[in-house]
Chains A and B, each alone.
Chain A
Amino acid sequence: MTTNALPVQTQPPPKTQAQLIYEQQQRAQRQFTLSVGISWGILFLLLGFLFSGVQFTLGPLSLKTIRVDMTFVREWAPFIAEGASTTIGISALSILLATLLALLAALGRLSRIPAVYAVSTFYVSLIRGTPLFLQVIFFFLALPQLGIILPGLWAGVLALGLNYGAYMSEIFRAGILSVSKGQREAALALGMTYDQMMRRVILPQALRFAIPPTGNEFIAMLKDSALVSATGFVHEILWRAQKVGRSNFRNLEALIIAAVFYWVMTLVFTALQARLEKYMARGDR
Chain B
Amino acid sequence: MTPIVKLTHLDKYFGRLHVLKDISLEVQPQEVVCLIGRSGSGKSTLLRCINFLEEPSAGTVEVDGLAVPAGVRGQTHNQMVHDIRIRTGMVFQEFNLFPHLSVMENIVEAPVIVKGMPKAQAVALGEKFLGKVGLLHKRDEYPNRLSGGQKQRVAIARALAMEPKVMLFDEPTSALDPELIGEVLEVMKQLAREGTTMVVVTHEMSFANEVANRVIYMDEGQIVEQGPPERIFTAPSDLRTQQFLDRVLVKDVMLLLQKDSPQNRTS
- Could you tell me which A residues sit within 8 Å of B by CB distance? 180, 182-183, 185-193, 196, 200-201, 204-205, 208, 283-285
Contacts and interface: CB of A to CB of B under 8 A. Distances in A.
A189 B53 contact: yes
Contacts of A182: 92, 94, 96
8 contacts: A183-B96, A186-B92, A188-B85, A191-B162, A205-B98, A205-B100, A283-B144, A285-B144
Nearest to A283: B144
Given A193-B82, A200-B109, 6 more contacts: A190-B114, A190-B158, A190-B162, A196-B114, A283-B144, A284-B99
A191 B100 CA distance: 19
B86 interface: yes
A204 to B, nearest CB: 5
Interface in B61-114: 82, 85-86, 88-90, 92, 94, 96-100, 109-110, 113-114
Contacts of A186: 90, 92, 96-98
A208 B101 CA distance: 13
Contacts of A196: 113-114
Contacts of B207: none
B233 interface: no
A196 to B, nearest CB: 5
B51 interface: yes
B144 A191 contact: no
Nearest to A182: B96
A204 B158 contact: no
Contacts of A192: 110, 113-114
Q: Which of A185, A188, A189, A201 lies at the interface centre, i.e. has the most chain B CB atoms within 10 A of its CB?
A: A189
Interface in B136-155: 142, 144
A205 B142 CA distance: 14
Given A200-B109, A285-B144, A189 B90 contact: yes
Contacts of B162: 190-191
A164 B94 CA distance: 37
Chain A at the B interface: mostly helix, strand, loop or mixed? helix
Q: Which of B82, B100, B142 lies at the interface centre, i.e. has the most chain A CB atoms within 10 A of its CB?
A: B100
A52 to B, nearest CB: 54
A205 B99 contact: yes
Contact of B98 (A189, A193, A201, A208): A201
A190 B109 contact: yes
Contact of B110 (A183, A190, A284): A190
Contacts of B113: 192, 196, 200
Contact of A191 (B92, B97, B110): B110
Contact of B86 (A185, A187, A191): A191
A188 B98 CA distance: 13
Contacts of A201: 98
Contact of B92 (A185, A204, A205, A208): A185
Contacts of B159: 189-190
A193 B110 CA distance: 11
Q: Which of A183, A190, A196 lies at the interface centre, i.e. has the most chain B CB atoms within 10 A of its CB?
A: A190
A208 B98 CA distance: 13
A187 B142 CA distance: 17
B144 A284 contact: yes
B96 A283 contact: no
Contacts of A205: 98-100
B8 to A, nearest CB: 22
Nearest to A189: B90
Contact of A189 (B85, B97, B99, B109): B85
A201 B96 CA distance: 11
Contacts of B89: 189
A187 B96 CA distance: 9
